[in-house]
Structure 1
């Protein structure tokens, strides 16, 4: 029996629709308890497709380009599957071969330096703030400041474990420094943390920093990692205010136009509660242009619209903009096998780490934006590799 359980494998979803349950319960009411934040999250991957119109801010259809003749856009399945795994506590999780030494916690307690640079957390927090060149061009610190439960590009950094997450969340000194690290990175992006609820706003130097952020698109991978790490370490509620700010800046003020696709494919779908995601997507749908190209709304109604009914392509509770829903990918044959409610709370799904996992009820897509020439080193090599090969597993930044 032990061998049978040990060989049990989660059957992964095969379409974007199977990865995303955001609109499965299209209401603004309270979500089931299983959807609530457990304080233990998961991780993300870098993969974004060059997809929409030019980056000049004018994305409206040109003369003679009616919606039916424009190229049909698709969401990235690989991004959707990656974030699905993140929100579902890593089905088929394999325990890290590294010994559990709580290295992430010890780093945040200022007991060990990050490797390979040999820098302690206190030095980073006290001397790196405002040193934007260092924060931009150093690519080893981000995995230590924002750890995840999967390996990143810095192979000296250790993956989080469930036991370490629980210990971290109960250690006041570590949590204080983690929020200071979050504030440090927000300042780098031109944003300030307003309060202990995670509310954010533009900082005094936002114009300069937003211009840099709009052009330096490898930072979008870092932001995805930061959002996921917030969820890992007990700050799930901090995600929505930051994502909301990015949506407003990119869609309403056009200060971050290059970020639109990353926000909608990645940032939104790091949020585990479907109601919170729906609220953000409804806001995005109101301001997205061209409206017909919005891919993240509810799927079309299956039943035929009766006379006098609203357009079937407008989901219940939507903003009312009659933008067609994304073209569904071909339906997979057969029925998908989901994890039973009991599986995610036992050792069957994710072995050691699954013992604390809640049965989060499905969600998520995230796409892949063309990352600009500002990428360098290992990050550039990784992105080029991802663009050329359809990897089923993607290494997070």
Structure 2
């Protein structure tokens, strides 16, 4: 058996989908363990562009079982739309190929309304997608959450929605002054959606347990990135789940007690969607050039991504916070042919130079210290140029782990493996 976790090492959007797609060819199971449909994995297969939000990337391979673990917050309506899209792309989806935890928390219409109202009327803008992710996790932690299994019994669903709505009703009516569905309306909507999801609902932990016993190859697919982790990220400008290595054990389970390798997907530069500090952000024409050439728009929201140079202090922290064993360097082609190339190796903070962005520092008050490198102009048809090798070697030296994959385009053929994972 071999187990591998694929985790975003930055603020998400690093290109995890295509790496997962390729590695899942050699896996028996691909497991999603956190987040919801606020994430988006874009995979290019030939002339097809497939965007997945909830369904794991392993669904593209018939031999692979895709699992949505209990740590995911699940929007039944979004799943219905995504399922139809996948089927319309002639991809087979059966209860044998896709399994969803009965204990996954459901995103209700109340969650989505609360999310949208807070972001539009609140004093602090977090940059949420407005899809109800945070409020659904709040329900889970407050023990008022609706679980997928609840959608299969309408009478029980009504009782649980009554308990769930108690506080929200007061806020929606009196604070936000917005309309909301009645309990009967929401119960009917969710119950009907539950009929579609029912064939896929099961106990996913036991499936993982048996897979470990049978020496299956297991791949864990993360959403977002370590720097958006609810505990390890740049709080409060984070998502509401455990995006790091630890989220595997809380959001899916790994009965063997460990994951063999943890691959950090790392963009060759840095991007961020939404609000929050960004030390290496470029406000110049260079940043705009990277944004346009890299097509830096969110797969889920379409929002423009902020762009900046590679931030090694942040990556060093990610390596430590999520036990990364190697990194996949993606979108290297976007930097090829540029007139200048910089890397942030350290910060100036409170009169001292620091080379690791530990969470004790205020990222909004750091001064990035850049190192100039000779630009590279590779076409990626042969071996890397000396300048590109220098760039890669600098990253490896600073992080203390190898670059095991280099990606220089969206196609499967534009990914070079420097290590055999399975």
TM-score range, shorter chain: under 0.3
| Higher helix content, 1 or 2 | 1
Normalising by structure 2, we get a TM-score of 0.24
- The structure whose RCO (Cα within 8 Å, separation 6+) is larger is 1
